[in-house]
Structure formats: C-alpha cells, structure tokens
C-alpha cells in the first residue's frame, strides 16, 4: 500500500493555481443557493409519504421511492455530464465507491425509520425530530473535517446560533401540529425519528469525504444509490416475509407506483442540490440550509393537503412563529461565509484525505475549485450510446407506469399546488443555471 501511495502524485505537488478569493466567494454563494433549492425540492418530495395514510406498507413506499431514486441517480448524471465522468472519478478515487455504498445503506435505513415515525407520530412531529441531523452534521464537520476552524467567533455564533434557532423553530412547528395527532405508539415513533436524524447526520461524513477529495457529486450519487437499493430491497424482503409476498404487495399497488417513483425522482433533484451545497459550503452550513425543507413540507401539508384546517388563530401564530425562527436561523447560516483562513483548514483536511488514499493533488485541488479535473473532457462532453440508452430506458419506465396509474384517493387542493410547483421550477432553473455557469456541474 505504501508503494501504491508513493506511486501517486505527491498530494502537495499540484500544478493547479490556488483558488482566488473572488472564485471562493462565487462558489460559496452557489453553495448557499443550492442549499435553499435543496430545501424546496426535498420538502416537496415528502408529499408521497402521505400515501401511508391510504394503507400502503411503509416498507413498500420506501422501496418504491428508492427505485425512483435509483432511476434518477443514473439518468440525471447521464443527461447532465455523461457516464464517462463516473469512469474518470472511479479511476481517480476508487475508495470512494466504498464510502458511497455505505452512505446509501445509511440513507435507506434512515428513510425506512422516517416512514415508521410518520405512521406513529405524524409528519409534523417526526420532521423536526429527524431534522436534528443538522446538529449531528455540524459536530462531524467540526471534528472530522476542520469546518469552522479559524472561522472567528462571529461565524461560530452565526452557524451554531442559526442551527439552534432552526431547531427551536422546528420544535414550535411540531408543537403546533401535535394537538391533531393521537399517537398510539408515541415513544416508538419518537425513537424512530431521532434514530433517522442520527443516521442522516452521519451520512454526511461520506459526503464530505468524497467532496473534499475532489469527486463529482453526480458520480458519488451513482455509487450511493447501489447501497441504497440493495439495502432497501433486503429490508423490504425481510419485512414482507420473502420475495413472493413482496411481489404480491407491489402488484397490489401498481396504480400508485408512478407517484412513488416520481416522489423518489423529485427527492433526487433536491438531494443533488444538497450535495453541491455540502461540497461548496461544507456540511455544517449546507445541511441546515437544506433543512429548510421542513418549511416547504409544512407549506405542502397546510396548503395542498389541508393539514391544520379549522384550527384556532393561536395555532397559526405558532406555525408562523416557528417558520420565522427557522427562516432567521437559515439566514444567519447563509450569511456566515467561509473565511480564507477557514478555507485553508479545509485544504488541510482535503490533502490529508489525498495522502491517506493516494489521490492526485491536481484532482483534489480541481474539486475544491469547482473545476473539471479531467482536462481531456473539459468543455467537450459528448454523450455515448450508454448515456442515451439509460435516458431512454428510464423515460420508458416512467411513461409505462404513468399509463397504468391513477390519481391516489387523497384529498388535495391542486390549485394550491400550482404556485408551489412554480417555486420548484424557479429554484431548478436558478440552481441549474448557476451550477452550469460557475462549475459546469463539477
């Protein structure tokens, strides 16, 4: 192994220039925008979990959403950059395959826990509990990856104070809607939601590991989704009592397959923005920003699905107060930019990873600067037959499922959904265009 590491380019001997302060500021603004975009898309992706209320097994919902995630996580990278990028990243940092698969396993278990939590205590209580993942992420960011080191007292106050405000806001929102639930298994649901928060908060350790070392988020999610699908399939078979009962259950819900897979697809768009946020502003800032998904989840719940309807004005005051607290916390974190000194500590952590795993210093440096590490493909990414085949297959799957689907029997105000969908599209356009202009999706 020592020979292997020596065979690599010395991590410190990069031929790439240092990152200019203007470039750093641009990447940070991009990360903050992606964090907010992630919040909007991840919040919208919670809507399919309402199907748990029409009698579909939580594990089946989770499995089908993961199937949608799997399709999206191979087709979107093929569309945006081509699968050739994945092969390049694989050659540069093969160890990240292990980390990607591990992160996928964590996600699958956490997602299953959230569905049990929603069943037992309701979305409005479970959501803020698992959103404590941002606090876990901050701890890992500081202790493992030098985030907030040499950042100054003001920035520590902004990030920790902002995260605390968001947590308090989340608790208020939970309290506001707790009155409408009569959970039979409250303790079980609370434990499930908290465990999901710990799993998701820890899942950002592999994320940060990958992006500090220079991997492209679009490549990382492709490996991630393998762990995710394998774990989820194993869990689903185990909970259903074998492959045959699972298959029977899947056939029973074929009319809503499309909606669940679509939910997974929407989730992936949010997750991709979250990945770019984690890459460019770190996990201690990126996760709290993407946790604004709770606000969007609440907006969907109240406006589209009629949650809290008929409640008194004091309840709405609590909801508005909680939302404002969360927004203030997110604002404090968004304005807490990374200083040059702190970014220097990120570099130390990045090159430590490079030395440990024998990754080329140029590759690591290009990743930190948001640039394409493969000079041969910069600005010239043609799609192969494999890329077009993946996109055609995924499109055919969605068209086929849509053809046999029906709108689920859920009371929903689709007029109210229209402006929320418009906001999603605005975020998609803004984040997509900014990522393209600044980094070409690097």
Partner 1 sequence: MIDAGMAGRWRSLSEVVLRDVHFWIPVVVLLGGLAVLRWIS
Burial code (b: 16+ CB inside 10 Å, e: under 16) for 65-97 equals bbbbbbbbbbbbbbebbbbbbbebbeebbeebb
Cβ atoms 230, 79 nearer than 8 A: no
Query: Of the two residues 155 and 345, which places its CB atom closer to partner 1 in the complex?
Result: 345
Q: Min. distance of Cβ 314 from partner 1 in angstroms?
A: 33
196/281 with CB nearer partner 1? 196
Rounded to 5°, angle at Cα 77 from 253 and 22 = 130
| Residue 222 or 332 having the CB closest to partner 1 | 222
**Other C-beta atoms within 10 Å of 113: how many?**
25
User: By C-alpha distance, which of 32, 31, 78, 48 is closest to 266?
Assistant: 48
- The closest alpha carbon to 367, from 223, 225, 221, 210, belongs to 210
Report the distance separating Cα 171 and Cα 124, nearest Å.
Answer: 10
For partner 1, give the closer residue by CB, 89 or 307: 89
Using alpha carbons only, give the angle 13, 19, 21 rounded to the nearest 5 degrees. Answer: 150
Of residues 193 and 326, the one with the C-beta less far from partner 1: 193
199: left (phi over 0), alpha (psi -120 to 50) or beta: alpha
Cβ at position 251, least distance to partner 1 in Å: 23
In the bound state with partner 1, the residue whose beta carbon lies nearer, of 23 and 188, is 188
| Beta carbon nearer to partner 1, 94 or 400 | 94
> Quick check: 388 and 87 in contact, CB under 8 A?
no
CB of 185: closest distance to partner 1 in angstroms? 8
Rounded least distance, CB 128 to partner 1, Å:
18
**Distance of alpha carbon 260 from alpha carbon 20, whole angstroms:** 44
For the CB of residue 90, give the shortest distance to partner 1 in the complex, in Å.
Answer: 7
Rounded to the nearest angstrom, the gap between the alpha carbon of residue 325 and the centroid of all alpha carbons in its chain is 22
Separation of CA 267 from chain center: 8
Rg of the chain, C-alpha, whole Å:
21
**Smallest gap, in angstroms, from Cβ of residue 401 to partner 1?**
28
Report d(CA 151, CA 323) in Å as an integer. 28
Nearer to partner 1, 113 or 424 (CB): 113
| Cα–Cα distance measured from residue 74 to residue 219, given in angstroms and rounded to the nearest whole number | 9
- Residues with Cβ within 8 Å of 229's Cβ and at least 6 positions away in sequence, in order, are 66, 67, 69, 70, 104, 108
> Least separation, in Å, of the C-beta of 4 and partner 1?
5
Can you tell me whether residue 373 is helix, strand or coil? coil
Nearer to partner 1, 235 or 283 (CB): 235
CB of 220 to partner 1, least distance (A): 14
Rounded least distance, CB 240 to partner 1, Å: 12
Q: For partner 1, which is the closer residue by CB, 89 or 371?
A: 89
What does the binding site for partner 1 look like in residue numbers (CB under 8 A)? 1, 4, 87, 90-91, 94-95, 97-99, 102-103, 105-106, 109-110, 112-113, 116, 120, 140, 144, 188, 191-192, 195-196, 198-199, 202-203, 205-206, 209, 235, 239, 356-358
Nearest distance from C-beta of residue 252 to partner 1, angstroms: 20
């Amino acid at each position: 192994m020592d020979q292997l590491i020596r065979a690599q380019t010395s991590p410190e001997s990069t031929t790439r220039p240092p990152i200019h302060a203007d470039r750093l500021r641009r990447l940070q603004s991009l990360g903050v925008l992606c964090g907010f975009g992630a919040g909007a898309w991840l919040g919208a992706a919670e809507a399919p979990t309402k199907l748990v209320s029409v009698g579909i097994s939580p594990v089946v919902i989770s499995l089908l959403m993961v199937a949608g995630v799997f399709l999206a996580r191979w087709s979107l990278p093929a569309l945006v950059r081509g699968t050739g990028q994945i092969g390049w990243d694989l050659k540069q940092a093969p160890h990240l395959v292990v980390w990607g698969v591990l992160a996928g396993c964590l996600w699958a278990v956490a997602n299953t826990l959230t569905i049990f939590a929603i069943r037992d205590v309701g979305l409005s209580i479970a959501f803020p509990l698992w959103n404590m993942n941002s606090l876990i992420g901050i701890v890992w960011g500081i202790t493992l990856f030098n985030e907030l080191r040499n950042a100054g007292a003001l920035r520590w106050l902004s990030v920790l104070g902002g995260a605390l405000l968001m947590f308090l806001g989340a608790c208020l929102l939970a309290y506001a809607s707790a009155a409408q639930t009569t959970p039979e298994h409250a303790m079980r649901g609370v434990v499930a939601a908290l465990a999901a928060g710990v799993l998701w908060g820890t899942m950002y350790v592999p994320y940060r590991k990958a992006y500090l070392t220079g991997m492209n988020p679009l490549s990382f999610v492709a490996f991630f989704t393998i762990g995710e699908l394998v774990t989820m399939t194993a869990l689903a078979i185990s909970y259903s009592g074998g492959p045959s009962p699972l298959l029977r259950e899947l056939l029973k819900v074929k009319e809503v397959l499309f909606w669940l897979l679509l939910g997974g697809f929407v989730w992936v768009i949010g997750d991709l923005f979250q990945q770019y946020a984690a890459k460019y502003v770190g996990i201690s800032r990126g996760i709290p920003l993407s946790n604004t998904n709770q606000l969007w989840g609440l907006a969907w719940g109240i406006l589209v699905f009629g949650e809290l309807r008929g409640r008194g004005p004091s309840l709405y005051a609590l909801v508005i107060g909680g939302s404002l607290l969360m927004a203030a916390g997110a604002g404090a974190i968004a304005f807490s930019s990374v200083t040059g000194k702190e970014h220097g500590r990120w570099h130390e952590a990045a090159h430590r990873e490079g030395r440990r795993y024998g990754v080329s210093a140029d590759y690591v440096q290009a990743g930190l600067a948001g640039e394409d590490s493969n000079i041969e493909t910069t600005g010239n990414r043609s799609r192969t037959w494999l890329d077009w085949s993946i996109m055609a297959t995924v499109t055919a799957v969605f068209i086929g499922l849509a053809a046999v689907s029906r709108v689920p029997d859920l009371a929903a105000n689709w007029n109210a959904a229209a402006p929320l969908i418009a906001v999603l599209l605005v975020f998609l356009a803004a984040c997509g265009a900014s990522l393209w202009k600044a980094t070409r999706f690097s």
